[in-house]
Amino acid sequence: MSLAVIVQARAASSRIPLKLLESLGERSALLRCMDRCREIDGAELVIAAVADGPGDDEIAEEASDAGYMVTRGPEEDVLARMAAAARDSGAETILRVEGHHPFIDPQICHRVVQLLDDTHADFACNDMPLRFPNGLQCEAFPVHLLHEAERNATKPFDRQSVTGWIRTHPRIRRVALTGPGQGLENLRWTLEEPEDLDFCAAVYAELGDRAASIGAAELAALCLRRPDIAGLNAGLNAAVPVIGTPEFATPPMAFRVAA
């Protein structure tokens, strides 16, 4: 099973212009995400699926200058963009990650891919429902399913969300890796608002270079130990909508497994 990680990226942002180019230590938020994806066990390729809207050239250059493969595609039809990247990758299996998740955990991502393989399901994710901190979401599926979605999805939401059609089609067998919960799902590790940037900067200020590779368990421990850091963006976390229902969900995952 050949595996490609496709990182979805675009420049447009209403609250933080070019947020993916914001520096976290010595590298941009986008490269922090892609560097972590490169550490996923079994990943043969990490590719940036970059929008072709105004200002996106800088995002594409950031990834390509760092040695990553880049595919360009429609800004609003994200499904078509992801499908184009999948074709360029030549892989059999795709793991989808969003570029504004600079603390994505390679071991959790690997567990999602492994769950897809072990159960012979069509689709695996870790947010049905989200019981991990917000910012660790990923989805794994065979490339042919993505192309089927590209051909058949007609609703604007399904084109923009990429996997909306896959998550709701009655024929598709879905499985989910369940996070630890117990309040950890209220932690926010994504980069969308100015307060999120404050949080990310505070983590890097606290940990230095170690922040680039810190696992989810250790980052959760830091947030619990330093509520002043976790509180920088805590007020932004609204409930993440659950799209689709899994046929099978694992027992809650202890973070020590991913530490």
The 3 state secondary structure assigned to the chain is CCEEEEEEECCCCCCCCCHHHCEECCEEHHHHHHHHHHCCCCEEEEEEEEECCCCHHHHHHHHHHCCCEEEEECCCCHHHHHHHHHHHHCCCEEEEEECCCCCCCHHHHHHHHHHHHHHCCCEEECCCCCCCCECCCCEEEEHHHHHHHHHHCCCHHHHHHCCHHHHHCCCCCEEECCCCCCCHHHCECCCCCHHHHHHHHHHHHHHHHHHHCCCHHHHHHHHHHCHHHHCCCHHHCCCCCCCCCCCEECCCCCHHHCC
Mean pLDDT for the stretch of residues 20-34: 97
pTM tops 0.75: yes
Q: Is the pLDDT of residue 54 over 90?
A: no
Q: pLDDT at position 55, please?
A: 86
Q: Is the pLDDT of residue 258 over 50?
A: no
pLDDT tens-digit series, residues 160-219: 999 999 999 999 999 999 999 999 999 999 999 999 999 999 999 999 999 999 999 999
CATH architecture of 3-257: Alpha-Beta Complex (3.90)
pLDDT tens-digit series, residues 111-160: 999 999 999 999 999 999 999 999 999 999 999 999 999 999 999 999 99
